[in-house]
Amino acid sequence: MKELVQKIYNIVKTEHKADDYELYIDFSDNHEARFAQNAMSQHMVGQNVRVVYKAYIDKKTASSTVNQYDESTLRHLIKSTEDLARINQPDPEYTESIGALEYPKVKNVMPETEALTPEKIVDIIREAVEFAREKDTKLSGIFSLNKASVFYFTKNGFEGNYDTSSYEFSMTMKRDERETKVSTAGKDFAKFSLKAQLDQLYSQFSALDKPNKMEPETINVILRPQAVANLMMYLRWGLDRRMADEGLTPLKGQIGKQYFGEKFNMSTVSEDDSMTIIPFFNDTVVKDIDWIKDGVVKALPTNKTYANMIGTEATSMFNVYISGGDTSEEEMMKMVDRGLIINNFWYIRPNDMRTADFTGMTRDGVLYFENGEVKHSVNNFRFNEKLHEITRRILALGESAIVFNTSKVPTMLIKDFHFIDRTNF
């Protein structure tokens, strides 16, 4: 593969006429096995290559993508992209490509993940389906296996590559109107436990029998990791230096100040073996960064263009690590008189990005607890919350766990979560 990449790179170096360029190449090998209603429905396999050429001419830019790499196609890619750049308008935020930089060598490819075969994936699904049949339920979901090799070059001398392999498995269990879902993802399949996933799924499912009707209110909540990850994804998108400086988020002028809760820490890490580490992305190289430390805003991701404008270093949030604690869910239930356990959120949307005010709905089941014990399930709710204010009301944290390949977050006990309506799904 490296010989092929070198051949593509040599053609670009020889044929280009641009003042500057960036060349991005990735090879992917993906498997997706879908099952529905206790039966396999589809297995998709796809090997693909993507070659992206971005040309800079007189501060004008253009980029094009092809999925072939023969010499004729590559020459056409180079010429047509540069022709487009010449007739484009000058880019007022033009910055030249990065030069040679050191980047960390990462281990994203694990033996157990690499050894996964379609036969093994089907066996896992078969075992899960048999479990569902024994419980008189229907199971649907998807198992994904993704492998990639990524290469990035610039005219100014940056040359980098890394490999990744990862898996994701999600299952939805249903009987009549009762339905819930679990999902897991990671780069090391050696840490995967089908039994643990099935036990969690059936535990959730069993707890949702005949949900009681409950009116929306402001109430304490225990957010399980999947709910935390989906909610904090939107906080992550709002952590941008330029958006903050231009008043598009509530973080204008907040660097160095206490803006989040004291128990809240968010960072990017480069040496956590459980997460996929992306060592570089276009204009930045990964390094450990505390974005929020003990509630204080320490830094905000800043792209190369804006970093050059304000005279600072470009930084990116390649992954998200929210540090946790050692409080169990059982202990959390005893810390407050009553509350709700939230498995997940979905349909999260901004009401106002400038204030980080969001709305969304619970999903996959909601449990009501009182005096340290789960009493029954209840209906789903819609919420309205300002994300930074949620972090100010953290009462306790559980152990951080992998939810997505690049996200590791804890269970959170939150005081006075604002639910505003009931939902039927």
pLDDT at residue 181 greater than cutoff 80? yes
User: Please, what's the b/e burial string for 232-254 (b: 16 or more CB within 10 A of its CB; e: otherwise)?
Assistant: bbbbbebbbbbbbbeeebbbeeb
Report the pLDDT value the prediction gives residue 282, as an integer from 0 to 100. 67
What average pLDDT does the segment 23-31 reach? 95
Note the maximum CA span of the chain.
73
Spatial neighbors of 389 by CB under 8 A, at least 6 apart, are: none
What average pLDDT does the segment 199-214 reach? 91
Band of the pLDDT at 256, cuts 50, 70, 90?
A: very high
Chain mean position to CA 392: 23
Spatial neighbors of 352 by CB under 8 A, at least 6 apart, are: none
pLDDT at residue 386 greater than cutoff 80? yes
* Domain range 2-199, its CATH number among 3.40.50.1370, 3.30.2290.10, 3.20.20.70, 3.20.20.10: 3.30.2290.10
Integer Cα distance of 292 and 305 in angstroms? 23
* pTM greater than the 0.95 cutoff: no
Asked if residue 205 lies in contact with residue 180, where contact means CB atoms within 8 angstroms, the answer is: yes
Region label for 76, one of left (φ > 0), alpha (ψ between -120 and 50) or beta (otherwise): alpha
Q: What are phi and psi of 187, to 5 degrees?
A: -105, -15
What average pLDDT does the segment 228-233 reach? 94
DSSP label at residue 302 = B
Band of the pLDDT at 279, cuts 50, 70, 90?
A: very high
Chain mean position to CA 17: 38
What average pLDDT does the segment 21-27 reach? 96
Q: Find the length of the chain.
A: 425
Asked if residue 315 lies in contact with residue 286, where contact means CB atoms within 8 angstroms, the answer is: no
Band of the pLDDT at 424, cuts 50, 70, 90?
A: confident
218-223/338-352 β-pairing:
parallel
Could you report the per-residue pLDDT of 320-337, keeping only the tens digit for each?
Answer: 999 999 999 999 999 999
Out of 27-41, 173-187, 277-291, pick the least confident.
277-291
DSSP string, 161-211: EEEEEEEEEEEEEEETTEEEEEEEEES-GGG--HHHHHHHHHHHHHHTSSP
Could you report the per-residue pLDDT of 389-418, keeping only the tens digit for each?
Answer: 999 999 999 999 999 888 999 999 999 999
Asked if residue 222 lies in contact with residue 387, where contact means CB atoms within 8 angstroms, the answer is: no
What average pLDDT does the segment 295-308 reach? 94
| Cβ neighbours of 78 (radius 10 Å) | 22
Among 154, 145, 193, which Cα is nearest to 34's? 145
Band of the pLDDT at 355, cuts 50, 70, 90?
A: very high
Report the pLDDT value the prediction gives residue 246, as an integer from 0 to 100. 96
Chain mean position to CA 230: 8
pLDDT top residue among 424 and 131:
131
Q: What are phi and psi of 179, to 5 degrees?
A: -155, 140
pLDDT at residue 378 greater than cutoff 70? yes
Could you report the per-residue pLDDT of 55-72, keeping only the tens digit for each?
Answer: 999 999 999 999 999 999
Q: Mean pLDDT, the chain, as a whole number?
A: 94
Integer Cα distance of 59 and 231 in angstroms? 39
The token pair that represents 101 in the structure block: 């930089």
What average pLDDT does the segment 265-280 reach? 90
pLDDT at residue 275 greater than cutoff 70? yes
> In degrees, to the nearest 5, what angle opens at C-alpha 238 toward C-alphas 235 and 243?
165
Report the pLDDT value the prediction gives residue 177, as an integer from 0 to 100. 85
| Domain locations in the chain as residue ranges | 2-199, 210-425
Could you give the percent of the chain with pLDDT greater than 90? 86
Residue with tokens 């400038």: 354
